[in-house]
Amino acid sequence: TQLLEQSPQFLSIQEGENLTVYCNSSSVFSSLQWYRQEPGEGPVLLVTVVTGGEVKKLKRLTFQFGDARKDSSLHITAAQPGDTGLYLCAGALSGRGSTLGRLYFGRGTQLTVWP
Amino acid sequence: SQTIHQWPATLVQPVGSPLSLECTVEGTSNPNLYWYRQAAGRGLQLLFYSVGIGQISSEVPQNLSASRPQDRQFILSSKKLLLSDSGFYLCAWSKPDTSGNTIYFGEGSWLTVV
């Protein structure tokens, strides 16, 4: 059973379009991270959100943590070919596992942006 | 600043041969250390994690083992590889405190068992 469900699994869009990736769960998380991974490399941290309702912006990327801390979204404005990659969300469960830094990962969203 | 390095980057091994992947972290003390496996560019499966020297927890039963002989060294091993062990292996670390739970990954190691 996957604790974090990401959608969509695949996304193929044209340069300049906007997109949103979702990360949902029935569990409450103390924090949630978004990573981006390119082929043959390790995932690279984009952002960490820890407060329910929190919104963080990283250039054209906007990250939101749900009020109940059960879900998150990543919105990209005016996507560029350089945004192509695998986007992974990961969360630390509230109340347990945090002392170990245990993260639960979604399966990822493979984004392809065509020029 | 902290850095993490794992090697080898790529490995082709015959079925039944042993395996040793190594990972070291610099610039921090007493990190939590992790080994993940990723199949076909998809989600990450946690294999092992360690909160200190000689302390290893396994998430899933498998043909692999892990050891932490030094504070910032984490080793993934197998005595006899199976075809199903092929995949992309990632070492990672996180701070020993409870805040943030952010994990930082190494470059990854591609293992192909033939």
User: What's A68's DSSP letter?
Assistant: T
**What stretch of H or E contains A56?**
strand A55-58
Do residue A2 and residue B90 have CB atoms under 8 angstroms apart? no
pLDDT of residue A20: 98
Asked if the model's pLDDT at residue A94 lies above 90, the reply is: no
Tell me whether the omega of the peptide bond preceding residue B31 falls within 30 degrees of 0, making it cis.
no
> What ranges do the domains of chain A cover?
5-114
pLDDT of residue A2: 76
The closest of A93, A96, A90, A91 to A109, measured between CA atoms, is A90
Confidence of residue B98 (pLDDT cuts 50, 70, 90): low
Three-state DSSP at A81 gives helix
Please state, for a pLDDT cut of 90, what percent of chain B lies above it.
68
* Contact present, A15 and A34 (Cβ < 8 Å): no
Confidence of residue B93 (pLDDT cuts 50, 70, 90): very high
pLDDT of residue A5: 94
Q: Which CATH superfamily is domain A5-114 in?
A: Immunoglobulins (2.60.40.10)
Do residue A42 and residue B108 have CB atoms under 8 angstroms apart? yes
Q: Please give the tally of structural domains in chain B.
A: 1
The CATH number covering residue B35 comes to 2.60.40.10
Q: Which of A15-19, B40-44, B67-71, B76-80 has the lowest mean pLDDT?
A: B40-44
The closest of B43, B28, B23, B40 to B107, measured between CA atoms, is B23
* Contact present, B90 and B4 (Cβ < 8 Å): no
Confidence of residue B95 (pLDDT cuts 50, 70, 90): confident
Average pLDDT over residues A93-112: 76
Q: Hey, which residues 47-76 in chain B have their CB within 8 Å of chain A?
A: 49, 51, 57
pLDDT of residue B21: 97
C-alpha B51, offset from chain centre: 13
Average pLDDT over residues A50-58: 95
Which of the pair, B76 or A91, is modelled with greater confidence?
B76
Do residue A98 and residue B94 have CB atoms under 8 angstroms apart? no
Chain A: residue whose CA lies nearest to B108: A42
Pick from B46, B57, B102: CB nearest A33:
B102
Q: Which residues of B touch A88 (CB under 8 A)?
A: 43-44
Pick from B42, B46, B92: CB nearest A108:
B42
Do residue A98 and residue B41 have CB atoms under 8 angstroms apart? no
Q: What is the CA radius of gyration of chain B?
A: 13
Pick from B34, B42, B101: CB nearest A92:
B101
pLDDT of residue A96: 53
Domain that holds residue B77: 3-113
Confidence of residue A95 (pLDDT cuts 50, 70, 90): low
Tokens of A34: 């978004």
